[in-house]
């Protein structure tokens, strides 16, 4: 009986699903949801009721007109790089979520902890770079003479990055040391 348990533990299958790993999976799911919300958000930067900027378009409303005028943001280098880094990180979050979910469903969890953690740390690097680049280049290139603020879309992207980091840390915890207590 003892040798059967040892073989199961060494192969990475049959280990109990710990609360830490469930929380890690929840963190990855929340990061995925926040990343989707951030990429789809129309409000990364807003200025009064006259201007808003998303990852996809820049819109302003002249004071004398009732209609909004919009231009694509995909013609600017820094906005393309920001979008590419965020989408790359979002893709990694999606892959890590799917791998972690499949590992939970088929019961071979331990061998997937490290690859999922690695993908999540790569996500954090990509998204943090994009989230630092965005305000720096925005302030450098776009000169708004009115009060403006980084809005909820930008905050959602930071939230996704933070949850990715939390999931990565939880997946890095050594399962041999912690799983035996559960």
- How many beta carbons lie within 10 A of that of residue 29, not counting itself? 16
Query: 56 in helix, strand or coil?
Result: coil
Q: Which fold has domain 18-41+76-145+152-174?
A: Butyryl-CoA Dehydrogenase, subunit A; domain 3 (1.20.140)
User: Residue 100 contacts by C-beta under 8 Å, 6 or more apart in sequence?
Assistant: 24, 25, 28, 112, 116, 171
Longest dimension (CA), the chain: 82
- The answer to whether residue 115 scores a pLDDT higher than 80 is yes
Side-chain half-sphere of 116: how many Cα atoms within 13 Å?
30
pLDDT at 97: 94
User: Tens digit of pLDDT for each residue in 47-83?
Assistant: 877 788 888 888 888 777 778 888 888 888 888 999 9
User: Domain extents for the chain?
Assistant: 18-41+76-145+152-174
State how far the Cα of 160 lies from the Cα of 42, in Å rounded to an integer: 17
- pLDDT level of residue 17 (50, 70, 90 thresholds): low
């Amino acid at each position: 009986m003892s040798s059967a348990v040892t073989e199961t533990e060494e192969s990475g299958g049959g280990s109990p699903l710990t609360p830490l790993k469930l929380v890690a999976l929840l963190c990855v799911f929340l990061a995925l949801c926040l990343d989707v919300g951030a990429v789809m958000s129309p409000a990364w930067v807003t200025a009064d009721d006259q201007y808003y900027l998303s990852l996809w378009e820049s819109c302003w409303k002249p004071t004398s007109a009732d209609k909004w005028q919009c231009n694509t943001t995909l013609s600017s280098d820094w906005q393309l790089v920001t979008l590419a880094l965020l989408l790359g990180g979002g893709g990694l979050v999606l892959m890590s979520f799917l791998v972690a979910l499949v590992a939970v469903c088929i019961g071979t969890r331990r061998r997937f902890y490290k690859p999922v953690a690695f993908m999540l740390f790569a996500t954090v690097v990509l998204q943090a770079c994009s989230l630092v680049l965005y305000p720096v280049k925005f302030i450098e290139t776009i000169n708004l003479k009115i009060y403006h603020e980084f809005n909820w879309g930008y905050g959602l992207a930071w939230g996704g990055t933070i949850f990715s980091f939390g999931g990565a840390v939880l997946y890095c915890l050594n399962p041999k040391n912690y799983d035996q207590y559960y």
